[in-house]
Every structure is written in C-alpha cells, then in structure tokens.
Amino acid sequence: QKEVEQDPGPLSVPEGAIVSLNCTYSNSAFQYFMWYRQYSRKGPELLMYTYSSGNKEDGRFTAQVDKSSKYISLFIRDSQPSDSATYLCAMSGKSGGTSYGKLTFGQGTILTVHP
C-alpha cells in the first residue's frame, strides 16, 4: 500500500465549476501538507501549504487537512481553463529538527477545465 493515495482521474469539468481534489495517507508522522500544480513539460509549482490540521484559503483555492481521518483536500472555485494541469499532493514530517525533508507525493490528478 502506498503511503499517499491520490485518484489519478482524469477529471474534466466545465469552466466555472467547483473542483475537489483529494488525497489520503497512512503515515501519522506527516505534519506538513502541500499542493503542487504541474503543467505539461514543467516542474511542480507550489500552490498551497498547510501545517497540521485546518483550512487555508488563497484566492480561489482552499486547502483542508483532517489529520484524524488522514485526509487532505484542495478546492478550486470558479475554475478556469488555465487551471488545466496535473495536481499533486505532497506531505512530509519533521526531519532532523528542520521543517522540510523528504516529500512524499501522490500520483497526481489530471484536471481539464473546458470553456
């Protein structure tokens, strides 16, 4: 069983829709949770970062972490064609007293927003 499970999709939605992306994990040591967006032939771009449980909002994006259920989500409101990309969840625990060590990624969800 993988440490981080993410539905690979693909997910296709109309412009303006609310998109929900999810990941589950099994490692209780994870404390830092991230969402990256990756366009074709590009590296992952950090979208959202959350420490421990809770919600975080940034513009059209909202990240939620439920550590008790080992479940994280990313919501995209008013989705745009430019949001079409692969979305990767990533998480890490503390490493040697620093905040960020090895990132463990989900498989990625391919999202297409059509006009």
Partner 1 sequence: DAGVTQSPTHLIKTRGQQVTLRCSPKSGHDTVSWYQQALGQGPQFIFQYYEEEERQRGNFPDRFSGHQFPNYSSELNVNALLLGDSALYLCASSLVGAVNQPQHFGDGTRLSIL
Q: Which residues bind partner 1 (CB under 8 A)?
A: 4, 6, 8, 32, 34, 36, 41-46, 49, 51, 88, 90, 95-108
Q: Which is nearer to partner 1, 19 or 36 (CB)?
A: 36
Tell which residue, 60, 59, 2, 4, has the closest CA to residue 32: 4
φ, ψ of residue 4 in degrees (nearest 5): -130, 125
- CB neighbour list of residue 65: distance below 8 Å, 6 or more residues apart: 33, 50, 52, 53, 54, 55, 71, 72
Shortest CB 15 distance to partner 1, Å:
26
Q: Which is nearer to partner 1, 44 or 113 (CB)?
A: 44
Shortest CB 115 distance to partner 1, Å:
26
Q: Which is nearer to partner 1, 18 or 46 (CB)?
A: 46
Shortest CB 110 distance to partner 1, Å:
9
For residue 54, how many other CB atoms are within 10 A of its CB?
Answer: 12
Q: Which is nearer to partner 1, 76 or 90 (CB)?
A: 90
Shortest CB 29 distance to partner 1, Å:
14
Whether 51 and 32 have beta carbons less than 8 Å apart is answered as yes
Angle value at C-alpha 57, between 103 and 2, nearest 5 degrees: 30
